[in-house]
Amino acid sequence: MTFTISDLRQQPAFFDAVADRIWRGWWKERGFPADYIVGRLRENMNPSPIPFALVAHRGDTFLGTSSVIAADLEDLPQYSPWVAAVWVDPKYRMQQIGSELVERAAEDAFALNFRRVYLCAPKERRRFYTRQGWVPIEENVGDRKVTVFVRVPDGSR
């Protein structure tokens, strides 16, 4: 399938879809109102380098999203920046969209002269990230017991 990955600042028509998916994917069950995520996502629309959100789309069809943010885990303030909020619409999964969103987010962070990029994910997503060159550096972090991964531009540690 052919698709495009754009910075959300260049495709603001997808703002509501991105906010909804991030809210439903990670925040709704934890009791946060949708407006909270809308406010946080608005920070991605500023001209500052980070945070930024990416959107995968085919024309005007939303396929998925990823973001790069300064911090993702309170327990690890020394790590920055983070690839976060990677989400692909279920009917478009298993078509390399998630992998491309993660790759583009990392490459865009490296283009900003960051030497390392981090992400966290539950154990069941470990293989998805290690296949892309992400290296696990911490296990069972925080309340959600996630694995923290790092990546550098050449794919090694």
Q: What is the pLDDT of residue 154?
A: 75
Q: Rounded mean pLDDT of 105-130?
A: 95
pLDDT(144) > 70? yes
pTM: 0.92
Q: What is the pLDDT of residue 135?
A: 96
**Nearest in space to 63 (alpha carbons), one of 37, 108, 32, 98:** 98
Residue 10: partners with Cβ closer than 8 Å, 6 or more residues away = none
Q: What is the pLDDT of residue 155?
A: 52
Residue 31: partners with Cβ closer than 8 Å, 6 or more residues away = none
Q: What is the pLDDT of residue 97?
A: 97
Q: Across the chain, what does the average pLDDT equal?
A: 93
Residue type, 85: A
pLDDT(156) > 70? no
**46: pLDDT confidence band, cut at 50, 70 and 90?**
very high
**157: pLDDT confidence band, cut at 50, 70 and 90?**
very low
Q: Which domains does the chain have, with CATH numbers?
A: 4-114 (3.40.630.30)
Residue 134: partners with Cβ closer than 8 Å, 6 or more residues away = 119, 149, 150, 151
| pLDDT tens-digit series, residues 12-37 | 999 999 999 999 988 998 899 999 99
Q: How far apart are CA 89 and CA 114, in angstroms?
A: 29
